[in-house]
Amino acid sequence: MNTTAEEHATRARTLDQIPSLDIDPFDDANLTDPQPLHAQLRDAGSMVFLSRYGVPAMARHAEVHAALRDWQTFSSAAGVGLDDLRYGERWRPSSLLLEVDPPVHEKTRTIMNGVMSLPAVGRMKAAFETEAERLADELVARGEFDALKDLAEPFVLKVFPDAVGLREDGREHLLPWGDMAFNSFGPRNDRFHRSTRTADTVRAWIFENSRREAISPGGFGAAIFAAVDAGRLDEDEGEVLVRSMLTAGLDTTVTGLGASILAFARFPDQWQHLFENPQLVRPAFDEVVRWASPVQTFFRTTTRETKVGDVVVPKDQKVLLFLAAANWDERVFHEPHLFDITRRTLGHVGFGNGIHKCVGQMVAKLEAEVVFNALLKRVKRFELLGEPRMHLNNTVRAYRHMHVRVEAR
Ligand code: OVM
């Protein structure tokens, strides 16, 4: 059947003609329990207008996935938060990875692909394993522990900064820094303002420790400054890239590991299945990332008028992408609420997709692998002691406490 241009035009809808919701996805209730909202957004259509913020949102997998892959139309250069970084004050200097498009992105991403390549990350494995084994020994002997305060946080705060080449003292600034940065992608709400109260001290420490003089040899940070020495980057660009690792690499993996324990506690048969099929360790973590979506949302900005389905989106329009909702879209993932380490997770957007897809994912996967392996040897079953307590953040679905009891093998 042919459609004439005229028929097409009559079927096209503008943003004021699509379903509009007067809800705040960044309020406490929706951040605490986002799934009902995500279902509502998916059901409402391929694009929904969020009147509070004046932005359209996508929550279905097909549209989110397509937008992430189309950087020419859905740009990151105006920032991936609600604020348009081209105007007004910015809360921190732009990232040379996250908040740029090609050709700038091409240059920095190529360097970071090398810095965190599979062989480079592989060289960290022994150190990661040592820490995972040490923590697992201690915690399983204890029998009861907090999967966040005693496991995910200390593990990540030890192995990742070590791998970057960061000093030991002052690391308590890393999670607050990430909390501010990930809050800053949402609206300037109370949550953002509360988390940035200590911004000056924290920012000073982060900036100071992103410098060459503060970075020890042999790690990811030193590899970035080697790229500076090779003439591929300016010194200050090198510092900005080190900072990206310190912003993106902590809260995300802490949540990923915390969500892993939650998943295996809620779905004990999956832990047993993993014990019997240890080759599934990496697919299991990929399924955790789909199931939990540590990074729940990001924005893009249109570079031109475009169409999403039959909806016309104007140029220079911020668009909200619900990664977490896309990862629970039943059109793509059968019974998406079930944590199933044997499912096909291909195409999930928990690490994003397209040119900006998580550059540190090899590190995150190695962290998960060594922690899962250390626990598989020692733990038969995880039991949740009470409901986990969340740490609400505008972007990351973060946990603060998760008390568990483990049954030793
Ligand atoms: C960056 C950055 C910061 C936060 C998140 C992120 C998930 C990247 O500075 O490049 O990616």
Count up the domains in the chain and report the number: 1
Taking the CA of residue 97 as reference, the ligand 1 atom at the shortest distance is 10
Give domain status of residue 5, yes or no: no
pLDDT at 60 over 70: yes
State the distance from the centre of ligand 1 to the C-alpha of 98, rounded, in angstroms: 5
Give domain status of residue 1, yes or no: no
Which residue is it, tokens 């420490």? 205
- Residue-number span of the structural domain to which 174 is assigned: 11-408
Residue 196 structure tokens? 């940035």
- The CATH number linked to 401 is 1.10.630.10
What is the β-pairing status of strands 318-322 and 306-308?
unpaired
Give domain status of residue 347, yes or no: yes
Give domain status of residue 323, yes or no: yes
pLDDT attached to residue 1:
42
pLDDT attached to residue 88:
82
Give pLDDT tens digits for 339-367: 999 999 999 999 999 999 999 999 999 99
- Would you place residue 91 in the very low, low, confident or very high pLDDT band (cuts 50, 70, 90)? confident
Residue nearest to atom 5 of ligand 1 (CA): 248
Taking the CA of residue 252 as reference, the ligand 1 atom at the shortest distance is 7
Give domain status of residue 2, yes or no: no
- Would you place residue 6 in the very low, low, confident or very high pLDDT band (cuts 50, 70, 90)? low
Give pLDDT tens digits for 119-162: 999 999 999 999 999 999 999 999 999 999 999 999 999 999 99
Give domain status of residue 4, yes or no: no
Taking the CA of residue 240 as reference, the ligand 1 atom at the shortest distance is 9
pLDDT at 9 over 60: no
Its pTM surpasses 0.85: yes
State the distance from the centre of ligand 1 to the C-alpha of 5, rounded, in angstroms: 42
- Would you place residue 259 in the very low, low, confident or very high pLDDT band (cuts 50, 70, 90)? very high
The answer, yes or no, to whether the previous bond of 103 is cis (omega within 30 of 0) is yes
Which amino acids bring their CB within 6 angstroms of ligand 1? 95, 97-98, 181, 244, 247-248, 295
Give domain status of residue 45, yes or no: yes
Give domain status of residue 6, yes or no: no
Give pLDDT tens digits for 378-395: 999 999 999 999 999 999
- Would you place residue 53 in the very low, low, confident or very high pLDDT band (cuts 50, 70, 90)? very high
Across the chain, mean pLDDT equals 96
Taking the CA of residue 243 as reference, the ligand 1 atom at the shortest distance is 9
